[in-house]
Chain A
């Protein structure tokens, strides 16, 4: 059975994603903090984004950098550092590719062999979150995204 994902704008500066995972917190934490496992799910196949490289030094003060794109000579990058890494409980990191980047906090709350994952993006200002919400491109891509997802479902079950 699949658990549902909830997304809410909790305040002018804060976006929150909530999801229950059917595993103890230590396992979810491991999937989040083992780089080779992290990139498997953080960049879902259906997003159709090509990961060129990743470096993740997951410890308090450590840095991360992920590069995407088609052309390795001209990648798009996201990067930042881990503000807090508390095993099985909490991760906090910065998103420094933009001056208006959020600080992300994810907490893991274990209950009855399940873990409630709460991921908060706190933006520096209301305007920063408004801008993030207004960015990007809808043209054609959502449809492509859905088609790919259907294809993936077919492949997984076929």
Chain B
């Protein structure tokens, strides 16, 4: 029953694949959050997240591929900062999906209130 939703959102599949893969990991989400506050070197990030340099390089690489982070080598240090693409864009589909379900549940609330009223009336009529 994806039909209604498919009316509503379109993003390039490859972009979303990369973004969702990048965002599916808690450390990488943490890195994005951290870079939202301040730019950092890979060494800084590795320390912050109690990780080896190699491990952090791998995470940053995945974020970079998804366009969520850009890196630049200055001297011997690789600096990381948030990419051009906004996170909100990647979450747009989920936001639309939520909106659809929110609308559904609003209508469900109405149906449910009717049923509750009907039940109350029925139980009074039955003299309960």
Contacts and interface: CB of A to CB of B under 8 A. Distances in A.
Question: Do A and B associate with each other?
Answer: yes
Interface of A: 2-7, 9, 12, 15, 17, 19, 21-23, 27-28, 30-31, 37, 40-47, 49, 66, 68, 76, 78, 95, 97-98, 101, 104, 117, 119, 127, 130-139, 141-142, 145, 149
Nearest to B92: A138
Contacts of B33: none
Interface of B: 1-13, 15-17, 20, 24, 92-94, 96-113, 115-116, 119
A129 to B, nearest CB: 8
Contacts, number: 142
A39 to B, nearest CB: 10
Contact of B10 (A28, A68, A139): A139
Given A15-B97, A130-B17, A134-B10, 8 more contacts: A9-B20, A44-B103, A47-B4, A130-B16, A133-B11, A136-B10, A137-B7, A149-B103
Q: For the complex, would chain A's binding face be called helix, strand, loop or mixed by DSSP majority?
A: mixed
B105 A5 contact: yes
Nearest to B14: A134
Interface centre among A22, A46, A49, A95 (most CB of B within 10 A): A46
Given A49-B7, A130-B13, A41 B99 contact: no
A76 B93 CA distance: 21
B116 to A, nearest CB: 6
Contacts of B92: 138
